[in-house]
Structure 1
Amino acid sequence: MNPKMLFKLVIDLTMTILMLIEMAYYITGNTVHEFLGVSVLVLFIVHNFLNRRWFSTILKGKYNLRRILQIVLNLLFLAAMAVMMICGILMSSELFSFIPVNDDMIFRQIHVQTAYWGFIIMALHVGFSWGMIINSVRRMTGITGTSRIRTIGLRVLAMLIVFYGVYASFEREIGTKLTIYNPFGTWVNDDSAIKFIIDHFSIMGIYICGTHYALKFVQKQDKGELKNTDIGSKMRIN
């Protein structure tokens, strides 16, 4: 694998894991939360620097449904992360306590809400790149052939993750946390670090799987339309 691509994958994977840990504020505590938050900020800046050419291509080339959705999603993710981090710095009680803020409740509310929206958008973002991630893993592990049993097993696993992710979404009131009515939601009192990670990875799985298979459906539709167009052109020529 290209060393630069591998470095990008490591940065993205590390940032994803740290963002997931950041969601567990009531487990890690404020000090760890703020230090990891700064780490995520640094990784996010590195991520955008490594992908800086993407910004210069937004207004170039042809647009299809996939590209439009990806551009909108990336810009939303950038906005959510920027707002979340700015509010996090303004409400900081340790690392950035020197910044005078009289009432940080509004920043706290926006910080939490944009964190959950960023969490969902991040999962959608991963879903857009899931095909590339799978291909990279195959090259790294030397898996080149196809296996019907492996494919069925992975799809069954994906279905189980999605089903449990739906259950975890309701248990943790993710829908409520995404609204301005009550972004703090209700904390699961008997929570453990392992259960938290499993629940949130499963919730991510809903959006990763949904985005991945929705894109595959769109691509099949595009190929079908292109094939019909080619057939129609040949018929007119003949």
Structure 2
Amino acid sequence: MRRKYQCQVLSDVVMLFILLSLMGFHLWSEYIHEWLGTILFLMVMLHVGLNTHWLQKLFQGEYCAFRLLQLSINALLLLLFLSAVISGVMLSRHLLPDLVIHSSSDLVRKVHMASVHWLQIIIALHLGIHWRMLANFFCKIWHISPVSVLITRILPLIFSAIAVYGIYAFIQRERLPYLLFQVDFAFFDFDESMFLFYWDFFAITLSGAYLSQILIWLMTFRQPVRR
């Protein structure tokens, strides 16, 4: 297995954990939050650098439904990431407090919160697009047959249950108003369990990944019956 691909998957896993940590703003100090955001930015740059082959092929070949879906998700991912980074830099009070563009206005804060929450959803869809590839990767690392009962029956059942719980967590934690740009100030439960918080947001992410799997199935794998 190529070392470059191993590096890609490892960096993707680390980015996912950092993203979940950033969602738990109240569980860390503001100083750590800004450092985590900076590290995520650098890792995204690394991720783009390791995937330049995809960019080089952007204007080559025909665009099927799957490729259009992939391009749309990646374009949204880029726009949301830039929005989250720029608004985060404007709000920075520790690492970049003296920038000319510094602003702690309600509008910038709302943009940052909405961007980050949308970013989690789109990253989940992005993860779902590469789900099969990642599954094959981990099967090779752990020396598990991709046609074993564990892979074809047990794990899909477990992941499906977690994804269903993720929908409940999304509703229970009232994430929709963040996506609709309706939250002016976030109210946090500083006494809640860190494990429960990250479990809920991991489940929400898994729900998004499963949603993209359903979209892929609807768009590319359902073939009309020929008579």
Q: TM-score, normalised by structure 2?
A: 0.92
Conserved 8 A contact 1:173-1:186:
no
Conserved 8 A contact 1:176-1:183:
no
Structure 1 residues not aligned, in runs of 5+: 233-238
Identity score, percent: 25
Deviations 1:108-143 (A, max 9, x none): 211111000001000000000000000001111112
Conserved 8 A contact 1:113-1:178:
yes
| Residue 37 to residue 57, structure 1, CA distance change in 2 (3 Å) | same
CA RMSD, Structure 1 to Structure 2 (Å): 1.9
Conserved 8 A contact 1:172-1:188:
no
Residue of structure 2 in register with 1:236 after alignment? none
Deviations 1:158-180 (A, max 9, x none): 22112211111111111111111
| Residue 135 to residue 206, structure 1, CA distance change in 2 (3 Å) | same
CA distance in 2, matches of 1:212, 1:68: 15
| Residue 138 to residue 192, structure 1, CA distance change in 2 (3 Å) | same
Q: Per-residue deviation at 1:186?
A: 4.5
Q: Per-residue deviation at 1:211?
A: 1.4
- Any idea what SS the aligned residue of 2:10 has? helix
- Any idea what SS the aligned residue of 2:217 has? helix
CA distance in 1, matches of 2:70, 2:146: 30
AA aligned to 2:91 is M
CA distance in 1, matches of 2:59, 2:185: 38
Q: Per-residue deviation at 1:29?
A: 1.8
Q: Per-residue deviation at 1:104?
A: 3.3
Residue of structure 2 in register with 1:47 after alignment? 47
Task: State the aligned residue count.
Answer: 226
Residue of structure 1 in register with 2:134 after alignment? 133
CA distance in 2, matches of 1:38, 1:187: 23
| Residue 151 to residue 110, structure 1, CA distance change in 2 (3 Å) | same
Report the more deviating stretch, 155-164 or 75-84: 155-164
AA aligned to 2:55 is F
Residue of structure 1 in register with 2:178 after alignment? 177
CA distance in 2, matches of 1:175, 1:145: 36
| Residue 167 to residue 146, structure 1, CA distance change in 2 (3 Å) | same
Q: TM-score, normalised by structure 1?
A: 0.88
Greater radius of gyration (CA): 1
